[in-house]
Amino acid sequence: MLGEDHSLLKEFPEHQDVIHALAASDEGFAADTKNYNALDKEIRVLELNGSPIEDTEMHQLKHNRAVLKDSLHQRIVSASK
C-alpha cells in the first residue's frame, strides 16, 4: 500500500522495549534507527506525491530501507536473547 508507515516501532511492535533500550544505550543503533525512520518517511512522502522520481531511484531507496531494516532487526533479536 502506498504511503504506509514502516517505522521501526510499527514494524516490530513486540520489540518496543528492546528498541527503546538499544536506542538509549547504543549510539550506533540510535543513529541507524534515525536513518531508517528518515528513509521510510522520505519514501512515504514520495509515494503520496505520486513518486516524482525515477523508478530506479525509488527501488534503490526501498532496497536501502530493507537492508537497514534487516540489520536493525538482527540487532534487536540478538539483544532480546
pLDDT tens per residue, range 7-19: 889 999 999 999 9
54 within a domain of the structure (yes/no): yes
57 within a domain of the structure (yes/no): yes
Spell out a b/e string for 14-26, using b for 16 or more CB atoms within 10 Å of the CB, else e.
Answer: ebeebbeebbeee
1 within a domain of the structure (yes/no): no
**What is the total count of domains within the chain?**
1
3 within a domain of the structure (yes/no): no
2 within a domain of the structure (yes/no): no
Alpha helices in the chain, H assignment, sequence order: 8-11, 16-25, 27-48, 55-80
Q: Which domain holds residue 17?
A: 8-80
What is the residue type of 6? H
Low-confidence residues of the chain: pLDDT under 70:
1-2
Q: Phi then psi for 51, rounded to 5 degrees?
A: 50, 65
12 within a domain of the structure (yes/no): yes
- The reported pTM is 0.86
- Residue the block writes with cell 528498541: 19
Cell matching residue 26: 547504543
